[in-house]
Amino acid sequence: MANVPVITMRQIHMSFGAVEVLHGVDFDVRAGEVHVLAGENGAGKSTLVRILAGVYDDWTGEVFVRGTARRLSHPRDAVRAGITTIHQELSLVPSMSVADNLFLGREIRGRCGGVRFAEQEAEAARVLDEMQLEAAPAQPVAELPLSSRQLLEIERALGRDALLFIFDEPTSALGEHEVAPLFARIGALKARGCGVVYITHKMEEIYRLADRITVLRDGRLVGTAVPQDLPPGELVRWMVGRDLGAGPSARAAAPRERAPGAALSVEALRVAHAELPDRSVVEDVAFSVRPGEIVGLAGLAGSGASEVLHALFGSLGRRASGRVAVGGERHAMRSPRESVGRGLMLLTNDRKATGLAPDLSVAHNVSLAGLKALSNRASWVRRRREAEAVGDLVRGFRLDAPSLAVPVRALSGGNQQKAYLARCLLPKPRVLLLDEPTRGIDVGAKADIYALMREWVRGGIAILLITSETEELLALSDRVLVMHRGRLVAELSGADATRERVLAAAMGHAA
């Protein structure tokens, strides 16, 4: 059973205009296996799986489903063929309840066609308990944190009867404790004889899940191997075509002097609940970050860590209160515009929804935070000055783009993230608030961002960092602050900053 191909793709070619993005790729998935599709952003992984998902039709080659040739020209063709895709971008309806989202398109109906809402809510409650997801069936999806919405998106897809399940970065918004139930579900899919395509940039997930690994680079097949024959160092070389050198841990081996005083100081920070002002999602938080220091902010979903960053940036308005100073000067947290003027910049954890303007050019996206300085007295943007400022900045980011005039949505995920980071650097900030800066990007782009962060702190910038990858958090941070249910519960540094202590504190146990 394990050797029967569920899906076979032969000599797949795909072009966007005059640019060929897939060059004769062969790929197959067997029943009862997890086949990891690896490669840098822009390697062709998403294009290949979108062909399987019926998103793209303008391709050449052959696709076989259980040995039968199929032309998947529309997403409904893929669904009918038994192919289900869990995309990194969420497709939930925020205004609808958890139960309604879970059963959207496959409602439980009675004899007369009416929806049996009570049955749906009862089944939704069972699913939520199985996924260890803290939510109520009748709760609107808009109220859930990003990680819970990601789990709900996954569970909705898993409820379908399919031969092949495609997971595109399913854990990018999940904490470590939320990953185990997902992996258990993937194990159950294998036991059912389903095929699984799994795309991830997390090395530990590749070697935990993969039965086979296929690597693409620049739209070409590099090779396919079982994990035992492809150690991590060799896998990285297959993916990027070069040795990356030191990873994030290299920073710890090079101690550096940090300026005295605080670039950012926070006292008695409180964030009120969006709908219940008498309740807090952040309560009595106090800390400081010095120039040239990276402070990690850890916590499980719902801990309030992201709300801290948004409160400091002014995007929560009157919901935030407390005493904050940037460079010794009082900061009232009134608006993002004021924060930029104070030298505070925020990179959010969702570049698609709250970060980039996808239809604007790369240059316009990068310059958004610096338009005041790039405009004349009549508020007209000086395009030549904008082009010079953006060009000078992005050269240091190793941004791979045909030109700065193309829409930013045309770039790979890693290059989109670099453009977003470049925007944050344009106003020359004192403090960077980074929420998942390496989410959903490949190992090559991560190495570039680690190098940039080392350069920024050497220049005296202070960084407050959130990342769901604990190894990255520990390697990059000088200190780690841990939050639990809206409060700071631990500060860890040096030998005390271990994965076990961070997780224990985040779960409310003694650090």
- Considering only residues 244 and 346, tell me which one the structure prediction assigns the higher pLDDT: 346
Instruction: Out of 3.40.50.300, 3.30.43.10, 3.30.230.10, 3.40.50.970, select the CATH number for domain 248-343+429-506.
Output: 3.40.50.300
Rg of the chain over Cα atoms, rounded to whole angstroms, equals: 24
Q: What angle is formed at CA 6 by the lines to CA 159 and CA 151, rounded to 5 degrees? A: 30
Of 331, 283, 318, whose CA–CA distance to 304 is shortest? 283
Alpha-carbon distance of 46 to 71, in angstroms, equals 18
Taking residues 59-77, report their average pLDDT: 92
DSSP code, position 355? I
- Beta pairing partners, 85: 166
Do 493 and 479 meet the contact criterion of CB atoms below 8 Å apart? yes
| pLDDT given for residue 253 in this prediction | 37
pTM (2 d.p.): 0.62
Do 229 and 214 meet the contact criterion of CB atoms below 8 Å apart? no
- Give 251's pLDDT tier (boundaries 50, 70, 90): very low
Do 199 and 37 meet the contact criterion of CB atoms below 8 Å apart? yes
- Considering only residues 367 and 147, tell me which one the structure prediction assigns the higher pLDDT: 367
In CATH, the number for domain 5-240 is 3.40.50.300
Do 141 and 149 meet the contact criterion of CB atoms below 8 Å apart? yes
Helices (H), ranges, 66-138:
75-80, 98-102, 117-130
Chain-wide mean pLDDT for the chain? 85
Same fold, 5-240 and 248-343+429-506: yes
Order of strands across the sheet that contains 280-289:
280-289, 264-272, 320-326, 329-331
Q: Say if residue 101's pLDDT is above 90.
A: no
Q: Say if residue 63's pLDDT is above 90.
A: yes
Q: Say if residue 254's pLDDT is above 50.
A: no
Domain residue spans of the chain: 5-240, 248-343+429-506, 355-420
Alpha-carbon distance of 320 to 318, in angstroms, equals 5
Task: Tell me the backbone φ, ψ of residue 489, rounded to 5 degrees.
Answer: -115, -10
Instruction: Output the CA torsion 99→103→105→107 (10° steps).
Output: -100
- Give 93's pLDDT tier (boundaries 50, 70, 90): confident
